[in-house]
Amino acid sequence: MYTQVSWLAQELQSDPNLRDGCTIIAHSQGGLVARYFIERYNNPKVYTYISWGTPQQGVFGTPGAMDDRFSWLKMVEQYMHTFLYTALTQKYISFAGYWHDTMHYDLYLQKCIFLPYLNNEKKHADSELFKQNICGLKKMVLVSSDADDIIEPIQSCHFGFYKKGSAQKIEPLAESALFKEDWLGLKTLADSGRLHLLNAHCTHTNYQEDEENFVQNTLPFLAIAA
């Protein structure tokens, strides 16, 4: 994940057309990469961040469509932490960096090298910078889809997730410590009307082709001055 962020930073910072800032539209995992860029670098400055089907709180579980076809995956998921939280896997397998195992939460905080830092779940040297850059956004637009067949759980796209110690009960963003204690600045955005949680009706791979998603959830936020 950090390698992908580095690539993104190089591309954005080398483009003279972006010297005055930009809007970012990111899909799926790309939304996590883009958000880390904003939090850590934000140069060029990002005015509006729009994510389509991005697991903002990570993932915990294989896609439902796969579970329906391969019932044994449910059993395997219980032991994924023993593999995904190893140093080698964290370094080279991108989704391991946002595998959010609420059944082994302490291990997640200790061994997961990307998401706990991205979401300021852990105190680190750049915690205040991360929050400052999120609070500096004019708009944060998070789009989820009721037909998404990949993200598990789908509420992650709106910063909701399973409660600690559960793989079934969902804790909405507004009830989380992340929001209430404003670890990342999401409450600041919400209180000032700059956080938008929107819904689409397309599959995970079709956000870009879905005209309704673009017209209703994206187009109104594209003007930098908006």
Can you tell me the mean pLDDT for 181-207?
98
Q: What is the pLDDT of residue 74?
A: 56
**148 tagged catalytic:** yes
**20 tagged catalytic:** no
Can you tell me the mean pLDDT for 166-172?
96
Ranges of each domain in the chain: 2-221
- pTM value? 0.93
SS3 sequence of the chain? CHHHHHHHHHHHHCCHHHCCCEEEEEECHHHHHHHHHHHHCCCCCEEEEEEECCCCCCECCCCHHHHHHCCCHHHHHCCCHHHHCCHHHHHHCHHHHHECCHHHHHHHHHHCCCHHHHCCCCCCCCHHHHHHHHHCCCEEEEEEECCCCCCCCHHHHHCCEECCCCCCCEECHHHCHHHHCCCCCHHHHHHCCCEEEEEECCCHHHCCCCHHHHHHHCHHHCCCCC
CATH code that applies to domain 2-221: 3.40.50.1820
**101 tagged catalytic:** no
Q: Tell me the pLDDT tens digit for each residue of 2-20.
A: 999 999 999 999 999 999 9
Q: What is the pLDDT of residue 111?
A: 97
Q: Tell me the pLDDT tens digit for each residue of 127-161.
A: 999 999 999 999 999 999 999 999 999 999 999 99
Q: What percent of the chain has pLDDT over 70?
A: 92
Contacts of 89 (CB under 8 A, 6+ apart): 83, 96
CA angle 156, 81, 71 (to 5 degrees): 75
Catalytic position from the list 101, 148, 182, 210: 148
Can you tell me the mean pLDDT for 107-123?
97
- pLDDT category at 208 given cuts 50, 70, 90 is very high
Catalytic position from the list 81, 100, 158, 204: 204
Q: What is the pLDDT of residue 225?
A: 53
Q: What is the pLDDT of residue 66?
A: 46
Q: Tell me the pLDDT tens digit for each residue of 38-79.
A: 999 999 999 999 999 999 999 998 765 544 544 444 556 677
- pLDDT category at 226 given cuts 50, 70, 90 is very low
Contact 6, 41 (CB under 8 A): no
Catalytic position from the list 28, 144, 145, 156: 28
